[in-house]
Structure 1
Amino acid sequence: MKKSLLILALAVFSQIGFAQVQLSEDEIEQKIDEIIPQLSLKEKVAMCHAQSKFSSPGVPRLGIPEIWMADGPHGVRAEINWDDWGHAGWTNDSVTAFPALTCLAASFNPEVAMQYGNALGEEARFRRKDIMLAPGVNIYRTPLNGRNFEYLGEDPYLVSTMVVPYIKGIQSNGVSACVKHFALNNQEEWRGHIDVQVDDRALREIYLPAFKAAVTEAGVWTLMGAYNKYKGQYTTTNKVLINDILKGEWGFDGVVVSDWGSAHDTDEAALNGLDLEMGSWTNGLTASRDFAYNEYYLADAFYAKLKSGEIPESVVDDKVRRILRLMFRTSMNTARGFGSQNSEQHQQVARKVATEGMVLLKNEDHFFPIDPATTKTIAVIGENATKMMTLGGGSSELKAQYEISPLEGIQKRFSNAKILHTLGYSSGPSWYGRVIEPKENQDSLYQAALETARQADLVLFVGGLNKNHHQDCEAGDRLSYNLPFNQDALLQDIVKINPNTAVILVSGNAVAVPWLNDVKALLQAWYLGSETGNAIADLLSGEVNPSGKLPFSFPVKLEDNAAHSFGKLSYPGDSIKQYYKEGILVGYRWFDTKQIKPQFPFGYGLSYTSFAYNDLKTDKKAYTTNDSVEVSFTLKNTGDVAGAEVAQLYVSDPKCSVMRPAKELKAFKKVFLQPGEEKEVSLSVPASSFAYYSEETKGWVVEPGKFILQINSSSADNQLKTTIEVN
Structure 2
Amino acid sequence: MTAQTPPTPPFRDPRLPFAKRIDDLLARLTPAEKVSFLHQYTPAVDRLGIAAFRTGQEALHGVAWMGPATVFPQAVGLGTTWNTDLVRRIGEAVGREARAMRAHDDRVGLNVWSPTVNLLRHPLWGRNEEGYSEDPRLTSAIATAYTRGLRGDHPVYWRTAPVLKHWLAHNNERDRDTSSSTVRPRVLHEYDLRAFKETVEAGAVAGVMPAYNLVNGRPNHVSPYLREQLRTWTDQELLVCSDAGAPSNLVDSEHYFDTHEEATAAALRAGVDSFTDHGTDSSHIVARVQGALDQGLLTEADLDTAVRRQLAVRLRLGEFDPGEDPYRDDAAFDTPAHRALAREAAEQAIVLLRNDGLLPLAPDTRVAVVGLLADECKLDWYSGTLIHRSTPLEGLYERFGADRVTFAEGVDRVRLRTAAGTFLHVPAAPDAPEETRGADGALDPALLAGRTDLPPLTTDATGTELALIGWGDGVWTLRAPDGRYLSVADDGLVRASADQPGGWVVQETFRLEPHAGGHLLRHLGTGRPVSVAAEGVRVADERPEVFEIVVVERGEDAVARAAGAADVVVVVAGNDPHIGGRETEDRSTLRLPEHQRRLLRAARAANPRTVLALVSAYPYTVETPAPPAVLWTAHGGQAAGTALARVLAGDVSPAGRLPQTWYGSDADLPDLLDYDVIGGRQTYLYFEGSPLFPFGHGLSYTTFGYADLSARVDDGSVRVSFTVTNAGDVTADEVAQLYTRAVAGSVPRPRRELLAHRRITLAPGARTALAFDVPLSAFAFWDVARGDWRLEPGPYELLVGASSEDIRLRTTVPLEGTPAAPRPVLRRGLDAADFDEQSGAAIVDRSRTAGDAVTPASGRSAELVFRACDFEDGATEVGAALAGEGTLELALDGGPVLASLTLRPDEPRGPYDYTTVRAGIVAEGVRDVRLRLRGPLRLAHVGFSG
TM-score range for the pair, normalised by the shorter chain length? 0.7 to 0.9
Whichever residue aligns with residue 640 of structure 1, its letter is D
The yes-or-no answer on 1:328 pairing with 2:315 is: yes
| Equivalent position SS for 1:275 | coil
- Cα distance, 1:437 vs. partner? 3.2
In the other structure, the counterpart of 1:84 is none
- Cα distance, 1:305 vs. partner? 2.5
Once residues 4 and 713 of structure 1 are traced to their aligned partners in structure 2, the CA distance between those partners, rounded to angstroms, is 66
The yes-or-no answer on 1:344 pairing with 2:331 is: no
In the other structure, the counterpart of 1:119 is 93
In the other structure, the counterpart of 1:215 is 200
In the other structure, the counterpart of 1:259 is 243
Once residues 405 and 812 of structure 2 are traced to their aligned partners in structure 1, the CA distance between those partners, rounded to angstroms, is 55
In the other structure, the counterpart of 1:646 is 735
- Cα distance, 1:443 vs. partner? 5.5
Given the alignment, which residue of 294, 297, 310 partners 2:297?
310
Superimposed CA distance per residue, residues 72-108 of structure 1 (whole angstroms, 9 cap, x where no aligned partner):
20111233xxxxxxxxxxxxx3111011111111111
Given the alignment, which residue of 119, 122, 128 partners 1:142?
122
The yes-or-no answer on 1:270 pairing with 2:241 is: no
Given the alignment, which residue of 691, 703, 706 partners 1:613?
706
The yes-or-no answer on 1:364 pairing with 2:356 is: yes
- Cα distance, 1:5 vs. partner? 7.5
In the other structure, the counterpart of 2:610 is 501
Would the aligned equivalents of 1:613 and 1:635 in 2 still touch at CA under 8 Å?
Answer: yes
- Cα distance, 1:546 vs. partner? 0.8
The yes-or-no answer on 1:171 pairing with 2:155 is: no
In the other structure, the counterpart of 1:235 is 220
- Cα distance, 1:350 vs. partner? 1.2
The yes-or-no answer on 1:550 pairing with 2:658 is: yes
Once residues 584 and 356 of structure 1 are traced to their aligned partners in structure 2, the CA distance between those partners, rounded to angstroms, is 33
Q: Rate the CA distance shift 1:333–1:614 in 2: closer, same or farther, 3 A.
A: farther
The yes-or-no answer on 1:377 pairing with 2:366 is: yes
- Cα distance, 1:114 vs. partner? 0.8
Would the aligned equivalents of 1:191 and 1:227 in 2 still touch at CA under 8 Å?
Answer: yes
- The share of aligned pairs that are identical, in percent, is 30
Q: Rate the CA distance shift 1:417–1:7 in 2: closer, same or farther, 3 A.
A: farther
Whichever residue aligns with residue 588 of structure 1, its letter is Y
TM superposition score normalised by structure 2:
0.67
- Cα distance, 1:333 vs. partner? 5.0
Q: Rate the CA distance shift 1:442–1:257 in 2: closer, same or farther, 3 A.
A: farther
Once residues 174 and 58 of structure 1 are traced to their aligned partners in structure 2, the CA distance between those partners, rounded to angstroms, is 22
Given the alignment, which residue of 560, 571, 579 partners 2:672?
571
Would the aligned equivalents of 1:379 and 1:456 in 2 still touch at CA under 8 Å?
Answer: yes
Once residues 376 and 567 of structure 2 are traced to their aligned partners in structure 1, the CA distance between those partners, rounded to angstroms, is 24
Q: Rate the CA distance shift 1:701–1:442 in 2: closer, same or farther, 3 A.
A: farther
Whichever residue aligns with residue 747 of structure 2, its letter is V
- Cα distance, 1:310 vs. partner? 3.4
Q: Rate the CA distance shift 1:41–1:416 in 2: closer, same or farther, 3 A.
A: closer
Once residues 218 and 175 of structure 2 are traced to their aligned partners in structure 1, the CA distance between those partners, rounded to angstroms, is 15
- Cα distance, 1:251 vs. partner? 4.7
Would the aligned equivalents of 1:229 and 1:235 in 2 still touch at CA under 8 Å?
Answer: yes
- Cα distance, 1:57 vs. partner? 2.5
Whichever residue aligns with residue 718 of structure 1, its letter is I
In the other structure, the counterpart of 2:510 is 437
Q: Rate the CA distance shift 1:151–1:180 in 2: closer, same or farther, 3 A.
A: same
- Cα distance, 1:433 vs. partner? 3.5
Superimposed CA distance per residue, residues 151-174 of structure 1 (whole angstroms, 9 cap, x where no aligned partner):
101000101111111101001152
Q: Rate the CA distance shift 1:416–1:684 in 2: closer, same or farther, 3 A.
A: same
Superimposed CA distance per residue, residues 297-339 of structure 1 (whole angstroms, 9 cap, x where no aligned partner):
xx21212322454312110001111011010011335313233
Q: Rate the CA distance shift 1:140–1:61 in 2: closer, same or farther, 3 A.
A: same
Superimposed CA distance per residue, residues 672-692 of structure 1 (whole angstroms, 9 cap, x where no aligned partner):
111011111111111121000
In the other structure, the counterpart of 2:893 is none
| Equivalent position SS for 2:116 | coil
Q: Rate the CA distance shift 1:101–1:333 in 2: closer, same or farther, 3 A.
A: farther
Q: Rate the CA distance shift 1:260–1:673 in 2: closer, same or farther, 3 A.
A: same
**Aligned ranges for residues 459-538 of structure 1 at < 5 Å?**
459-471=569-581, 473-515=582-624, 517-538=625-646
**Aligned ranges for residues 607-686 of structure 1 at < 5 Å?**
607-618=700-711, 620=712, 622=713, 627-686=716-775
Q: Rate the CA distance shift 1:276–1:398 in 2: closer, same or farther, 3 A.
A: same
In the other structure, the counterpart of 2:819 is none
Once residues 526 and 687 of structure 1 are traced to their aligned partners in structure 2, the CA distance between those partners, rounded to angstroms, is 35
The yes-or-no answer on 1:247 pairing with 2:231 is: yes
Would the aligned equivalents of 1:4 and 1:34 in 2 still touch at CA under 8 Å?
Answer: no
Q: Rate the CA distance shift 1:415–1:353 in 2: closer, same or farther, 3 A.
A: same
Whichever residue aligns with residue 66 of structure 1, its letter is A
Once residues 142 and 165 of structure 1 are traced to their aligned partners in structure 2, the CA distance between those partners, rounded to angstroms, is 24
- Cα distance, 1:587 vs. partner? 1.2
Kindly name which structure, 1 or 2, has the bigger radius of gyration based on alpha carbons: 2
| Equivalent position SS for 2:761 | strand
Superimposed CA distance per residue, residues 466-504 of structure 1 (whole angstroms, 9 cap, x where no aligned partner):
212323x21101122111252113212220111011011
In the other structure, the counterpart of 2:34 is 44
Once residues 600 and 332 of structure 1 are traced to their aligned partners in structure 2, the CA distance between those partners, rounded to angstroms, is 52
Once residues 42 and 247 of structure 1 are traced to their aligned partners in structure 2, the CA distance between those partners, rounded to angstroms, is 27
Would the aligned equivalents of 2:11 and 2:25 in 1 still touch at CA under 8 Å?
Answer: no
Whichever residue aligns with residue 586 of structure 2, its letter is D
Given the alignment, which residue of 586, 591, 595 partners 2:682?
586
Given the alignment, which residue of 6, 14, 18 partners 2:8?
6
In the other structure, the counterpart of 2:562 is 452
Q: Rate the CA distance shift 1:417–1:409 in 2: closer, same or farther, 3 A.
A: same
**Aligned ranges for residues 389-468 of structure 1 at < 5 Å?**
389-390=378-379, 393-394=380-381, 396-415=382-401, 417-425=403-411, 426-427=469-470, 428=477, 429-431=500-502, 432-434=504-506, 436-437=509-510, 444-468=554-578
In the other structure, the counterpart of 2:284 is 295
| Equivalent position SS for 2:373 | helix
Once residues 249 and 364 of structure 1 are traced to their aligned partners in structure 2, the CA distance between those partners, rounded to angstroms, is 48
Once residues 6 and 368 of structure 1 are traced to their aligned partners in structure 2, the CA distance between those partners, rounded to angstroms, is 67
- Cα distance, 1:131 vs. partner? 1.3
The yes-or-no answer on 1:28 pairing with 2:18 is: yes
Given the alignment, which residue of 69, 76, 100 partners 2:74?
100
Q: Rate the CA distance shift 1:614–1:266 in 2: closer, same or farther, 3 A.
A: same
Residues 197-206 or 451-460, more deviating: 451-460
RMSD between aligned residues: 2.2
Residues 122-131 or 195-204, more deviating: 122-131
Whichever residue aligns with residue 261 of structure 1, its letter is G
Whichever residue aligns with residue 753 of structure 2, its letter is E
Whichever residue aligns with residue 238 of structure 2, its letter is G
Gap regions ≥5 residues in structure 2 = 103-108, 153-157, 251-262, 412-468, 471-476, 478-499, 512-520, 522-548, 817-946
Whichever residue aligns with residue 382 of structure 1, its letter is G
- Cα distance, 1:582 vs. partner? 4.2
Once residues 98 and 442 of structure 1 are traced to their aligned partners in structure 2, the CA distance between those partners, rounded to angstroms, is 38
Once residues 175 and 235 of structure 2 are traced to their aligned partners in structure 1, the CA distance between those partners, rounded to angstroms, is 31
Would the aligned equivalents of 2:717 and 2:775 in 1 still touch at CA under 8 Å?
Answer: yes
Would the aligned equivalents of 2:743 and 2:796 in 1 still touch at CA under 8 Å?
Answer: yes
Once residues 204 and 67 of structure 1 are traced to their aligned partners in structure 2, the CA distance between those partners, rounded to angstroms, is 35
Would the aligned equivalents of 1:67 and 1:130 in 2 still touch at CA under 8 Å?
Answer: no
| Equivalent position SS for 1:502 | strand
